């Protein structure tokens, strides 16, 4: 485990305690950057520990088995369908699609069916990777493994619930833009919304807001097309997720001198979101939280 000394967003070094939780026996501490309001886990696993965790322990931690389970497969398909509906007006053609963190391959199959595009997945977990391959997807263990076989660029890269897992999200997005995305391509990403999603767990190194997602994209060299907070298929009332669509910027990002809503605003809206989630869960649980048929 290692402590974070510098905020990756604003490069400042002053943090305040934000939340401490226990996740499956792991004691986790999240801190708040006092300058920009980014919330991050510290201390956290280093890169070697993260690599081993995602290769063999992540699914065990999440669902008590490495093998794909019916509930999770149905949830992934529902999320893929919702995502496709979100972007239906943004694409007329997709030639090559790279899905990072592709899991069962539901999103790859959804885009292939809609756009007849070539799709490639990146999935470090062996069981879900093999399941995806069994459904006809081409899937690699890592971006490094893919680059050893093929170097062609993609006009769509998706990262659904991946950014919060990455040690350096700005650098990772910058590398995708520079090395894998076509100049007129699109980046599609989704993260849990700190203000209304529970957000905190061992694998989540960051807890993002709409404002911090915007700033990460800006610093990584992207122009935002749209950003939406929503409940996906899970909730008609809670804005659990943040989805963003962006394209490579032609200009280098300028310096950021202020941040909205800032650290005090982040704390306030988190408390407000928790109150909202608890209120609706207590009074209308079956309406507030919904799952696909058969995924109970």
**Neighbour-count burial for 182-197, b at 16+ CB within 10 Å, e otherwise:** beebbbbbbbbbbbbb
CATH numbers and ranges of domains, the chain? 61-196+209-248+258-288 (3.40.50.150)
- How sure is the predictor about 295, in pLDDT bands with cuts at 50, 70 and 90? low
Predicted confidence (pLDDT) at residue 56 exceeds the cutoff of 70: no
The string of pLDDT tens digits covering residues 115-164 is 999 999 999 988 999 999 999 999 999 999 998 888 889 999 999 999 99
Across 176-195, average pLDDT: 97
The string of pLDDT tens digits covering residues 201-236 is 999 999 999 999 999 999 999 999 999 999 999 999
What are the Cα distances from residue 88, in Å, to 83, 111, 263? Answer: 9, 10, 35
Q: Count of CB atoms within 10 A of residue 32's CB?
A: 23
pTM assigned to the model: 0.94
CB 127 within 8 A of CB 59: yes
Label the pairing between strands 118-122 and 138-140.
parallel
Give the DSSP per-residue string, 138-172.
EEESSHHHHHTT----EEEEEEET-GGG-SSHHHH
* Terminal C-alpha separation, the chain: 35
CB 192 within 8 A of CB 201: no
């Amino acid at each position: 485990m290692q402590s974070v000394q510098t905020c990756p967003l604003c490069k400042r070094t002053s943090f305040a305690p934000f939340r401490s939780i226990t996740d499956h026996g792991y004691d986790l501490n999240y801190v708040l950057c006092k300058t920009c309001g980014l919330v991050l886990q510290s201390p956290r696993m280093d890169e070697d520990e993260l690599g081993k965790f995602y290769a063999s322990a992540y699914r065990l931690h999440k669902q008590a088995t490495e093998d794909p389970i019916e509930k999770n497969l149905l949830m992934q398909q529902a999320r893929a369908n919702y995502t496709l509906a979100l972007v239906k007006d943004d694409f007329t053609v997709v030639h090559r699609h790279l899905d990072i963190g592709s899991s069962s391959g539901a999103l790859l199959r959804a885009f292939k069916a809609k756009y007849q595009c070539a799709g490639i997945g990146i999935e470090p977990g062996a069981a879900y990777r093999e399941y995806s391959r069994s459904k006809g997807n081409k899937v690699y263990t890592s971006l490094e493994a893919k680059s050893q076989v093929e170097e062609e660029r993609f006009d769509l890269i998706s990262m659904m619930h991946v950014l919060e897992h990455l040690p350096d999200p700005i650098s990772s997005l910058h590398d995708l833009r520079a090395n894998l995305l076509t100049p007129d391509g699109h980046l599609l990403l989704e993260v849990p919304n700190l203000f209304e999603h529970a957000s905190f767990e061992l694998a989540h190194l960051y807890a993002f807001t709409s404002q911090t997602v915007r700033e990460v994209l800006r610093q990584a060299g992207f122009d935002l097309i749209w950003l939406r907070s929503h409940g996906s298929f899970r909730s008609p009332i809670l804005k659990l997720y943040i989805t963003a669509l962006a394209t490579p910027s032609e200009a280098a990002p300028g310096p950021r001198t202020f941040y909205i809503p800032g650290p005090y605003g982040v704390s306030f809206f988190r408390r407000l979101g928790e109150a909202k989630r608890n209120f609706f869960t207590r009074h209308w649980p079956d309406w507030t939280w919904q799952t696909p048929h058969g995924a109970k």
